[in-house]
A and B are shown apart, each in its own frame.
Chain A
Amino acid sequence: MIQEEEKYREIIRLLNSLPRVKAKKGFEARLMERLRRQEDIVKTQVTEESLFNKFLSIFKPSFIPAVAVSAVILIAVIVYFSYFVSNGNDYSETNAISDPHKTEHLIYLRNDKDSYLTGKSNTDLSMNNTTSDKQSGPDYDHRSEISSLSKESPKHSNENIKADNETIVAEYNSGLEATKTESESRDNVISRNEKIGTDKKEKNTKVYDEINRLGLLPLAKAHKPEVDSSKQDSTKKNNQKDKKLKEEPEK
């Protein structure tokens, strides 16, 4: 080794003779500034690490049962409430559909309207009702009774309405003869009202006679249908007006 050092003695001397380079001026001040910046960075890193460690501390083995139990409870609550809410909605919907009265109302309203607009016969409509009722199950008898009761009155009223419509159309078509047809139709109306009045009176007398026959007169007296004087006056007045109307076209 010493021989090798001797061999390169000159080059070693040259390298040793090189001037020593010194650090730049203000080296320590710049170093301190850098260290201060470095410390700030380290502090921020430490805070970030501490937050991360806090987050990781949730996953400690000692916390696993508590986390598991709370998760199960949370899931159970969510499932229970979702089931309850969905059932509640189903219940309300089925109620609306399965309520017989509501469905009947819906059907009757629609059919009446259709018949009124299209002029179809009520028998067909009542048939439709019964078919729909058959589909709806055990309430069939009750509803068929209602539908059979409703057969008469709509038919009667529809015929009247048709008659009125025909007279109105005739008025437009006949021009000068309209007044005559109007008076005729009024006569018809009057005669119909009179008929209804006589029917009611007959019914009342029949009922009264029946009550008298059964010996329930004292009770019947108490509930005897009294003819309202105001109504009598109004009917009289109406009759007088009708008579006047009859006389006026003649004049």
Chain B
Amino acid sequence: MKPSKEGKDLVSDEKLMSEFQNGNNKAFDEIVRRYKDRLTNFIYRYTGNYDDSDDIVQDTFVRVYTSKHLYKEIAKFSTWIYTIAINIAKTKVIKEKKFNKTSLTVETNDEEWELEISDNSVSPESLADSVLLSRHIQNALNSINEVYRELVILRDIENFSYEEIVEMTGLPMGTVKSRINRGRERLQEILKDIYEGQ
């Protein structure tokens, strides 16, 4: 999963970034062209909202543009830009979580409880449609803890190596592996009906 080696891309991401740091704005355009879809997919799987993912990816590129001097060639560019995207996404998710929590909370005189969200379980027959299948998997992803979700997406959807994930998250290798496995386990439980159907 190295964009610089994919297809006709001959120039590495790091080389493009160094050119952009030297004032070549066309290099930045090339970086945007290479990463806009990848980052959108990653953030969409993380947040589950397409509009939010678009905003977050735009913010990520703005951050890359304004903080270009902070990038050092010792790190891989892909891990650097993904780290920025994850941090922005986390901030946004935390903010929205607070907002949703208040909107879904009903306060009475003495008691306080959260409204239960209806179960969106899908029957095996209807899962034949691939769109519905992908939506169901996305719902399953959204239902697991963010800590697991982030690492599972990076490993199983974006296909980053464990080392790269360690570099991005700053977590120890053992923590990364255990969290990825726990996330997978949780997903397996949620998507059990799909296995049974298949």
Contacts and interface: CB of A to CB of B under 8 A. Distances in A.
Nearest to B40: A23
Interface in B14-63: 29, 32-33, 36-37, 40-41, 44-45, 50, 53-54, 57-58, 61-62
B193 interface: no
A23 B54 contact: yes
A1 interface: yes
Contacts of A14: 137, 191, 194
A16 to B, nearest CB: 7
A15 B184 CA distance: 10
A31 B58 contact: yes
A30 B153 CA distance: 27
Contacts of B66: 38, 42
B58 A10 contact: no
A204 B2 CA distance: 142
Contacts of B181: 4, 8
A20 B37 contact: yes
Nearest to B43: A21
Query: Which residue of A30, A34, A35 has the most chain B CB atoms within 10 A of its CB atom?
Result: A35
A38 B62 contact: yes
Interface string B60-75: 0110011000000000
Contacts of A19: 130, 134
B11 interface: no
A11 B191 contact: yes
Contacts of B33: 28
B187 interface: yes
A219 interface: no
B157 interface: yes
B36 A8 contact: no
Interface residues of B, number: 36
A20 B50 CA distance: 12
A24 interface: yes
Query: Which residue of A1, A4, A18, A28 has the most chain B CB atoms within 10 A of its CB atom?
Result: A18
A28 B67 CA distance: 18
A24 B58 CA distance: 11
A27 interface: yes
Interface in B166-192: 177, 181, 184-185, 187-188, 191
B58 A30 contact: yes
A35 B41 CA distance: 22
Query: Which residue of A15, A30, A35 has the most chain B CB atoms within 10 A of its CB atom?
Result: A15
B96 interface: no
B113 interface: no
A23 B191 contact: no
A12 interface: yes
A22 interface: yes
B151 interface: no
Contacts of A28: 29, 32-33, 36
Contacts of A42: 66
8 contacts: A15-B156, A15-B157, A18-B45, A19-B134, A23-B57, A31-B61, A35-B65, A42-B66
Given A12-B184, A31-B62, 7 more contacts: A8-B185, A20-B37, A23-B40, A23-B54, A27-B58, A28-B36, A30-B58
3 A-B pairs closest in CB distance? A8-B184, A15-B156, A23-B36
